[in-house]
């Protein structure tokens, strides 16, 4: 469920008409619903009730400080994958003891930054990283709390570009080598082993891959404890999918996921960490765009929008589907047209949908891309010198611009010319 509904013939974000935002902010823009963010976080938090747990929002899904502050105020932790994300989380007021540092390529400076600033744990992805972190921790006179990410070689049954738990993926260490790597870590004086980390992919639409991974994780926990390691925390990653269409098929609910976690891992007495991103933010956001032209081609109609692939890259990158709806609610029985829906960027890949049925559109009409709250704004760029588009947060009957659209001067003046020019 989200809080984007038609009311009096107009699409609303909570109690604010999308059309009113468009008139004040201009298009394209992203808009997020506070009520939806809160609801989705609480669903996860309550699903793990009865277990010692922490829900860490995966910032790579949506990293605007207003979103982070909204979730942090509810008690959310943050899963960060770069020094920049770490600083964003801290700037949003998230306590250091609720920040988990993940990522396959942490640098020396990032390790130094997080150790100096304070961090809940590092999720280690390789043996070289293990030794570098130990070196940095010792140089600072600190002890770094760690989990080690194991790759359970489980097929997440998701898109190849967002699968992370198979043997050919770059993430983690093979689970077959876990005992050896944990033994190495135990000899390093700058490290404190607190648990195990596993993450098998994103946009999972069934629970079976999780079950397969968590059963391997449970056996590994017992084995490592028998080796003398104090395994007291299990980081389960994220990955639960969201519905990108309004069909009857839907991924499992957080309540189903929570029940499965309790069943598979609850007997181990470990603190549980989960790191959802998409499920919290995905359906909490829309991308709103205007129609520039309706163009007739040889055998099709093109709906040319002012949003482009640089604003929402998922369809170009993943062939991802987003429902696209008119901001003015069509009357029942209104005849639909068939469009290829595209942006203005000079790339054939700047295509959002082909053969999409939509009520007939005219120049200046507004459309909204649903399920655009995750991996939308964070993956945008200024390709074609197109300004990053505004982000707007709605709370009841109020809205605020939480990232302004830069001017062309802002963009161009970031360049500097060398002396010889």
pLDDT tens for 172-191 read 899 999 999 999 999 999 99
Minimum mean pLDDT range among 20-29, 241-250, 321-330, 342-351: 241-250
| pLDDT given for residue 78 in this prediction | 98
Are 262 and 51 in contact by the 8 Å Cβ rule? The answer is yes
162 pLDDT band, cuts 50/70/90, is: very low
Residue with tokens 């790339």: 347
| pLDDT given for residue 145 in this prediction | 98
| pLDDT given for residue 200 in this prediction | 85
- The two structure tokens encoding residue 418: 């060398």
Q: Nearest-CA neighbor of 361 among 340, 346, 332?
A: 340
Residue with tokens 């309790």: 262
Query: SS3 for 301?
Result: strand
Residues 105-147 have pLDDT tens digits of 999 999 999 999 999 999 999 999 999 999 999 999 999 999 9
Q: Is the confidence at residue 165, as pLDDT, over 60? A: no
Q: Kindly report whether the global pTM for this prediction surpasses the value 0.75.
A: yes
Exposed (0-12), middle (13-18) or buried (19+): which is 409, by Cβ within 10 Å? Answer: exposed
The residue from 331, 332, 346, 412 that is catalytic is 346
Other Cβ atoms within 10 Å of 59 Cβ, number: 29
- Between 74 and 243, whose confidence is greater? 74
Q: Is the confidence at residue 170, as pLDDT, over 70? A: no
| pLDDT given for residue 251 in this prediction | 82
Spell out the long-range contacts of 312-315 with Cβ–Cβ below 8 A and sequence spacing 24 or more.
312/287, 312/352, 312/369, 312/372, 312/376, 312/380, 313/379, 313/380, 313/381, 314/375, 314/376, 314/379, 315/351, 315/352, 315/353
How large is the average pLDDT for residues 389-411?
98
270 catalytic? Reply is: no
Minimum mean pLDDT range among 16-20, 168-172, 204-208: 168-172
Identify the structural domains of the chain with CATH numbers, from first to last.
4-31+282-412 (2.40.37.10), 34-280 (3.20.20.10)
Element (H, E) at 116: helix 108-117
Q: Nearest-CA neighbor of 71 among 60, 84, 55?
A: 55
157 pLDDT band, cuts 50/70/90, is: low
From residue 8, give the alpha-carbon distance in Å to each of 17, 289, 302, 400. Answer: 10, 21, 29, 23
| pLDDT given for residue 2 in this prediction | 84
Alpha-carbon gap, residue 359 to 120, rounded angstroms:
50
Please give the angle made by the CA atoms of 210, 213 and 215, to the nearest 5 degrees: 105
| pLDDT given for residue 140 in this prediction | 98
How large is the average pLDDT for residues 325-332?
94
| pLDDT given for residue 166 in this prediction | 44
């Amino acid at each position: 469920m989200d809080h984007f509904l038609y009311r009096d013939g107009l699409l609303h974000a909570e109690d604010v008409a999308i059309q009113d935002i468009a008139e004040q902010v201009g298009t394209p823009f992203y808009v997020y619903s506070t009520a939806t963010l809160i609801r989705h976080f609480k669903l996860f938090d309550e699903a793990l009730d009865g277990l010692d747990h922490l829900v860490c929002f995966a910032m790579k899904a949506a990293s605007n400080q207003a979103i982070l502050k909204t979730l942090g105020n509810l008690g959310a932790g943050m899963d960060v994958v770069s020094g920049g994300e770490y600083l964003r989380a801290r700037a949003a007021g998230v306590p250091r003891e609720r920040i988990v540092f993940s990522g396959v390529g942490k640098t020396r400076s990032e390790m130094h930054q997080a150790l100096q600033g304070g961090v809940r744990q590092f999720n280690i992805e390789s043996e070289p990283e293990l030794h570098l972190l130990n070196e940095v921790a010792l140089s600072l006179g600190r002890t770094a709390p760690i989990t080690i990410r194991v790759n359970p070689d489980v097929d997440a049954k998701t898109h190849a570009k967002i699968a992370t738990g198979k043997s050919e993926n770059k993430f983690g260490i093979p689970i077959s080598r876990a005992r050896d790597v944990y033994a190495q870590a135990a000899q390093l004086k700058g490290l404190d082993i607190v648990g195990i980390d596993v993450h098998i992919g994103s946009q999972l639409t069934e629970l079976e891959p999780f079950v397969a991974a968590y059963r391997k994780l449970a056996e590994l926990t017992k084995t490592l404890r028998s080796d003398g390691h104090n395994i007291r925390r299990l980081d389960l990653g994220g990955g639960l999918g969201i519905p990108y269409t309004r069909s009857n098929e839907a991924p499992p609910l957080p309540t189903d996921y929570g029940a499965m976690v309790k069943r598979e891992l609850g007997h181990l007495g470990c603190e549980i960490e989960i790191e959802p991103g998409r499920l919290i933010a995905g359906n909490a956001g829309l991308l709103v765009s205007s129609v520039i032209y309706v163009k007739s081609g040889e055998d099709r109609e093109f709906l040319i929008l002012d949003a482009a692939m640089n604003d929402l890259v998922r369809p170009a990158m993943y062939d991802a589907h987003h429902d696209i709806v008119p901001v003015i609610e069509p009357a029942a029985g209104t005849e639909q047209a068939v469009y290829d829906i595209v942006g203005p960027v000079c790339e054939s890949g700047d295509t959002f949908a082909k053969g999409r049925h939509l009520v007939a559109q005219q120049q200046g009409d507004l459309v909204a891309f649903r399920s655009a709250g995750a991996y939308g704004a964070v993956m945008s760029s200024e390709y074609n010198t197109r300004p990053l588009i505004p982000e707007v947060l709605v709370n009841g009957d109020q809205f605020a611009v939480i990232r302004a659209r830069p001017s062309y001067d802002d963009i161009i003046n970031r360049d500097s010319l060398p002396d010889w020019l």
